[in-house]
Amino acid sequence: MQSSYADRFERDMGCTEDEWLRWLPAAVGEGRPWRVEGASALVEIAPGSLQLRWQVMPPRVIALMRMPVLRVGFVFEGLDAVQRFAFMKRFDLYMQRGGG
């Protein structure tokens, strides 16, 4: 997890679009208003919002391993650094994948 989050950033997620859409409801939080339209979602985070846009990228290939890549853009509006951090702390915890 990062110590701060800009109001706009991109990251590559190691998941398919189907996995992303399954994980998204829990990551944004139960009862938080949000909606998906195509390859984007708008999440209401009082007093502002988060616009998510994603694009399926070619898989990452390392030797015989192929890992899906989903490039996700985050655009926060109307939220200060503390509010962005609080939201992303939960979001990142829910999007973590096990390993080891």
- Position 61: which residue type? V
Residue 2 lies in a domain: no
Residue 63 lies in a domain: yes
Q: Whole-structure pTM over 0.85, yes or no?
A: yes
Residue 71 lies in a domain: yes
pLDDT category at 3 given cuts 50, 70, 90 is confident
Token pair for 67:
């890992």
Residue 100 lies in a domain: no
- Contacts for 53 with CB less than 8 Å, ≥ 6 apart: 39, 40, 72, 73, 75
pLDDT category at 2 given cuts 50, 70, 90 is confident
Number of structural domains found in the chain: 1
Average confidence (pLDDT) over 73-99: 91
Residue 58 lies in a domain: yes
Residue 3 lies in a domain: no
Which domain does 59 fall in, by range?
A: 8-95
pLDDT at 84 over 90: yes
pLDDT tens-digit series, residues 19-63:
999 999 999 998 899 999 999 999 999 999 999 999 999 999 999
Which DSSP string do the residues of 25-92 spell out, in sequence order?
HHHH-TT--EEE-SSEEEEEETTEEEEEEEEEEEEEEETTEEEEEEEEEEEEES--HHHHHHHHHHHH
| Cross-strand bridge partners of residue 62 | 65
pLDDT category at 98 given cuts 50, 70, 90 is low
Give the pLDDT score at 30: 85
We report the CATH number of the domain holding residue 35 as 3.30.1370.80
* Chain position carrying tokens 């391993």: 65
